[in-house]
Structure 1
Amino acid sequence: MYNQERKQGDVSGRLCVIIFRDMPLENNDKIKNTDMEKSIFPILVVNNSNLKPYIELFSYQPENISQQPLGSLVGFFEIRDYSEDSAYVVNFLNSVVKKEYYLNPKRSVQDSFDAALHKVNLALSELAKHGNINWLGKIDSAICVIEKNSIHFSVTGKAKILLNRNTVLTDVTEDLAPDSPDPHPLKTFTNVSSGRLEKGDKLIITSEDLFHILSLSDLKKNVARFDKDKFIQFIKTALTNELDMAGTLIVDIDEPEKKTVRKEPIKQKEETATISVFSETAFSKKKKWTAPLVEAKPETEDPEQEKEYVDKKTGHIYIQGDNEEKEDSGALQEQAQMVKEVMYNSMFATKDFFKKQAFSAWKKTKKTLSSAASYNYAGKFSSLKDGLGKKYRGRKKPDAPEMIPEESLENIIEQYEKEFQPSPRKNVSKISKLGIPVKKSVSEGIANLKPLVGKIPELLPNGHTLEKLRTVLPDASKANRLFAGFTPKQKISTVSIILALIILPLFFSKIDFKKKEAASIDTIPTTESPDQNEEKYLNERNIAFVEQVEKISSLSGVIGSFPLESDLYAVTDRTVTLIKENETKEFTWLEEYGSGRITAYMKDLNLIFILTDREKVVSFSPVSLDFKDNSIVIPQGAQISQASTYLTYLYLLDKKNNQIYRYPRAEGGFGEKTDWVKKPLDASSVSDMAIDDNVFLADKTGLRKLFRGEIVDFTMENSTTPVNFNKVHTDITAEGIYVMDIGNSRIIKFDKEGKLLKQYHNESVSDATGFSINETDKKAYIITSDEINAMNIQ
């Protein structure tokens, strides 16, 4: 064992790195070079919901390939002060340590871990400066990094990390936490220990609460007695039943499972394959039990067993070999079932439609026949006769023999009716079986038509007779005889075809086959069409005309707004106003600080900075709700027009001297500035500044990108209407770059490469003096001279 001293950033005190080697290591190069599998099981118990803000476990994994070398970040924060001021500290520290550790994947694991601990110490120091000191000496925490086969960790307070190796349970954090009667925020995490992990190791990362119910000897006994899953369940049950609040993480280290590719089963190798899946003992017992019943049973089970294996870790049975085919088959069966259901539904709907249409047609026919029976044919035909008489006046009348007497006409109709009327034995019963109501409608309809038919000869100026009329009409008797000779199936088919020919055209005429346009995020619908002032933007790509905005506040003179979680903080020249859904709180700083001119938010420390007209920088903490004066030295005669932050640095733009000053965070405020711009820069027309990993300067004509103090090539995609880059918003966590074009009443979203993604148009933007973005809630907060409005940017 050896010690090594080194300084960590500007932390006052000593950071001691301890490498523990008192556990025997296996000199197996193969094991050393193989990355062990780490199973992490967090156990959080909060039986009293009021205590939930005061403890938090975390287990973070790399989010992309570049972060893979940094490994896993696990641990917990617990505060034993349950005041309102301490309720935010745990969540705040959790976000700080994660963000800083994975911030720069190019750093080594040790450097990233040191930076994360330093950032936590610095964040706690800022809380203390703002009067939030109730947590001092009452914070328990363990932070661990597990990468490859190594672990790095640091603890504070009464947190413990126990290592079980070869049935020996050891406290590897003994004397690691700082033990000072006067705790200092910057010395919360001071010592780091590192070591190698081996196969079969178990880590227990826990708070002091676990030892209130289990002694170290009890833990040793239960670790040896229980397997992995049962031990986890044992700890969880014990904590849940005995404590109101506790947190423990259990990490099991094992060799990675060897993944073997199974080949298709071969008959000659069935017995060998079975033994590789199930143990020989298990199989032999099964064979012994089944042998008296069926001698060849194992041979019939081998093909199925070859397709399965039991996961040694989880105990689940997995199917191999044909599982993909079965899944595909299942998908096909599911689709076939869906098609069947659609067909059944269509057939039922068609049947119901035909039934309704047939009934409707019958009612119309019955109504027509009834109307025909009561129609005044005599008067109509008399009028027609008089009209025809006038037309043919002076002409020679037709000879009398061509007129058919009324008695003869009736005889002809009666004979025709007999030929047309179907035989009751052959037709009426068949039609009734089809469910079609049949009365004496045919004969009644013909009887009602007799007066009309009697007048037909009078309407034929050329003297056409009924015989000529019958040559035009179809021979109903032949159709009737043909239909009577059909089999029942043929009759049903014939009726169905006739109905289909009549009804299907009506059915399809009611269906709208026009394809509806799919909804697109590029065309957000509005309830009204764009007015004449917006017509010039209709040719723009990916533009949404937002119908209305929501009024959030009637504050006037707002110089900046910051959406933090579900709240909005608005800064004026003398106050910071907290705007919630149902309430508004106003906080005023001392008059001696001066009037606020410029404001910026530092996310890493959760602080709002206000630069006043007296060259002072005032900070406001959303946690403690207090103001603090921060020491800073601004060059005499400088004209600071913009401010922004990056990590714990404050950037100020001096448009007079065309320079950007970078101030590091230091005790009581900010340290000595650095001239960040390396090459000549015209900053006189800069209207806004935003920073992620680069500095973006906006003016009316464009957006300039600077990296390491120099302007780099950067092109923003053009829109049809030229963009005015009045204001810009982005940060290290933002998805894109947001530009406010006040002249064209729109906010435009670009990606970090300059590609135009979306445009949001609303007339309220034309009166804006600034804006901020909440990507979580998809809202843009538009600041005007007398109010703040929220606009949806989905």
Structure 2
Amino acid sequence: MSEEKHITKVGKILSRQKNPDRHTLVSIFKPESPEAKKHGVIYMVLEILSSDPTMGRIAKLIEKILIEEYYKNIGDGLGSFESSLKVINEKLSELADEGEIGWIGKINAVIAIFEDDILHITQAGTTEAYMIRDEKIIHITENLSSHAEKQNPLKTFINIVSGNLKLKDKIIISTSEFFYHFSLDDTRRICSRFSPAIAAAYIVKMLRREEIESINTLILEFDEKEKDFNIEDIGKKIISTSEQKIVEGYKNIAPFWKKFLRFSEKGIKSYFEKSKDIYDNKIAPSFNKFTKEASKKVNEKIEKISEKNPKKENNITSEKNQENRDLLYLIPDFKKGKKETKQKITTEDSQQHLFKNSLDKNKFQKTKEIFKKIKTKAKTKGPIFMILGILLIVLLVFSGLISYQKKVATNKRQKIEQSYASIKTKVESAIKANELGDTKKAQELLEEVKIEINEFPSAYMKAEIVALEKQIQESVEKIFNIQRFDSIEPITDFSSLDPTIKLTNIFSINNKIFVIDKERHKAAFYNTESNNPEYLDNLSFDGIGQKVALLNDKNSVAILASEPSSIFIYNSKTNSTEKTKQITDEDWPKARSVSSYLNNIYLLVPDDGQIYKYSSLIGSYSNKNNYILNPSGLDLKNSVDMAIDGSIYVLMNDGNVLKFLAGEKIDYTFTGIPSNANEKEKNKNAKMVSAIRIITDGDMKDIYVADAGAKRILVFDKESGHYKTQYISSKWTDIKDIWVSNNKIYILSGSEIYSIDTK
């Protein structure tokens, strides 16, 4: 068997913390025997998006089968790879048949095999692989797997791509989260510039700055194997080469160096002699003359001021006056070849002491000395020194304040720019995450961004923030599947019947849409065939209409009224309304919502913390029966509506929901709801701004909720409670109620009715 000609350099980025919502496996298998090595080396990055602890066993099972099957038959790498993946798919299918299905659609993996200079690669899910060749980055797993194929266990790993490798080719295999934080161009530049190990270390450093430690990546470089050398030959070669270079270098440098030294010695000596002569004969006398004349003029000026402002201090001796006139001890005395100051530092220690004090102990020592001398001069020489001193102090303070303000402004601007860059990066990461199919991560990033941009200072970077807000809004609507209807027109407006009409509820039976007029205690309807709104005289009631529920026959509705509490039944077939009662003529409780299931009526009574059930009898209903078996500790005061499909869903004003099954409260909540960009929820636990209505029944797969405060209708998967989509319109400024029927949602906003399809 021939020797290996190539090697693969490896850089690893491994998660330092275990993610609770996934299991990850990064594997490199290099066999020991030369024959098996020639057959190929296996590289794998795999994650299973599930918190189930058994998923780790499935990841290990995939690795085990891959290694065993691939090296069974040495020779044909592609054939071995295909048979290995077939066995893996069959085993996964067996697990699914046994009921172990938690992994289906949740495996993200790339498996690569380097068979000498041939690359074989396969993909499942969103783990990606890129190649860098000749400074260009190529997406080699593009369209290698699809979402449709994920659901079939036998098609977990289905496609293989193969190709020849060139020297210096680099392969990046990573879980999708890597590409949320590094663009393809950044990845290309980093991996092209550095070896795999250094590139991995650099990337890890950048990620840890952002406290990101959940990424798993392999960086591979295909390179030529270095030749082996005898250590003695290497030593001889180094020594002989070094000696030869030293000798040749000395031969070239020595003549020049000798000439340079001779010239330098003569030149430097001549230079110092000339410099001393110039300084002694020209510079020193000139400076001495200048300082004497300056001192004389200053003395004359001070004497004139002193004559105008005589002080007691004028008795000071002329010698001392002369000394004091050397203002602030800053005028030097120059003598020939020598410079002396009024204060002398005599030793090296004292010089070091002065230097240390000026830097370490007090940075403003000089300033203090100047202020002290200004004060002394002011006492002896009159007010001019005091004025000059004050001006100097003001100037210093003012310049200090300006400097401080500039520094504060610079720091603030830098922080704002950093915040803006961070927000922009998160938006780009969310878009990338959504493109790679990780909707959950995209939604989390956008929720963070919406909070951060609301806290961004409004006075800075206005144009950039407006553009970024627009990009965020577009990304949010795409990722959260938000459907806008800003140009929608109402199908009818009941104000044409009466401009003062006040509507509260809506329901639909057959081809008619009914609304309740709380002022006139009756109803109006809109016929979708005749397109005209009309009053319905045969539907009338006492009190104020609260809620409406469709009864089991689908032709009648129960109308809950208050003041007084009562229930009316409207039958659309007979076009008649009847006030109903309990068999014992007991008063109806003060309820907030009514719903129906299997001919029974249920009333939500927040004040009692209870849901009452009334069984249907001939011509009346039974007495109330408590539905909730254990109401203690249950708070229904903020409840606004309920819906029944066998289970009972109680909607709270803040968008939270309670679910009951056979009278017992069970764990259930709405999840994945995007916060509203324009309206703030009332508290941090709120899921909506102002929820008013919840609708579902036994025939519906989804739950519909009207959030009037945010002008939207949200749709949730009934089984999981997870958010699916929402409908928004700027026209829905006053949502009163909604109704869902025949794949349509009817929205009552003010006096207008809007209709949208749910298909």
TM exceeds 0.5?
no
Q: Which TM-score tier does this pair reach, normalised by the shorter chain?
A: 0.3 to 0.5
TM (norm. structure 1) is: 0.31
> What's the TM-score once normalised by structure 2's chain length?
0.33
